[in-house]
């Protein structure tokens, strides 16, 4: 089967660093994406990794290890507005853009 595993909930305090892990088992892998979704809002794209290593975009970084079928999203200097759900998603094709999404991790940032 095809599956992505990520923790269902994570809690952290403002200013801290949090890591959200994602392990995947899929037939076909082209890359790993991360999306953020605030309550009542639409998912928005955060990052994409096709190659092993760390990609940094401001306070957010994303890591991929293809050999371990594992990736993570790292959020630094947490702010209250980072409270949201975070989804990892695997690209199964290079041209159609089909994604398989994980179940999502709800991040609660406390003061």
Residues interacting with other proteins, by CB under 8 A? 4, 8, 30-31, 33, 41-45, 48, 50, 87, 89, 91, 93-104
Smaller CB separation from other proteins, 39 or 67:
39
Least spacing, CB of residue 57 vs other proteins, in Å: 12
Residue ranges of alpha helices (H) inside 1-111 are: none
Least spacing, CB of residue 52 vs other proteins, in Å: 16
Smaller CB separation from other proteins, 37 or 76:
37
Is the four-CA dihedral 61, 66, 8, 84 of positive or negative sign? Answer: positive
Look at residue 80 and give its three-state secondary structure: helix
Tokens of 94: 């290079």
Phi, psi for residue 42 in degrees, rounded to 5 = -90, 150
Smaller CB separation from other proteins, 78 or 89:
89
């Amino acid at each position: 089967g095809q599956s992505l595993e990520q923790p269902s909930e994570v809690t952290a305090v403002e200013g801290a660093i949090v890591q959200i892990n994602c392990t995947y088992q899929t037939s076909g892998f082209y890359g790993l994406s991360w999306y953020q979704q605030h309550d009542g809002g639409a998912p928005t794209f955060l990052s994409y990794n096709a190659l092993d290593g760390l990609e940094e975009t401001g306070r957010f970084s994303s890591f991929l290890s293809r050999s371990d079928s594992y990736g993570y999203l790292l959020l630094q200097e947490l702010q209250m507005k980072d409270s949201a759900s975070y989804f990892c998603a695997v690209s199964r094709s290079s041209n159609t853009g089909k994604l398989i999404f994980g179940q999502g991790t709800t991040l609660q940032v406390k003061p």
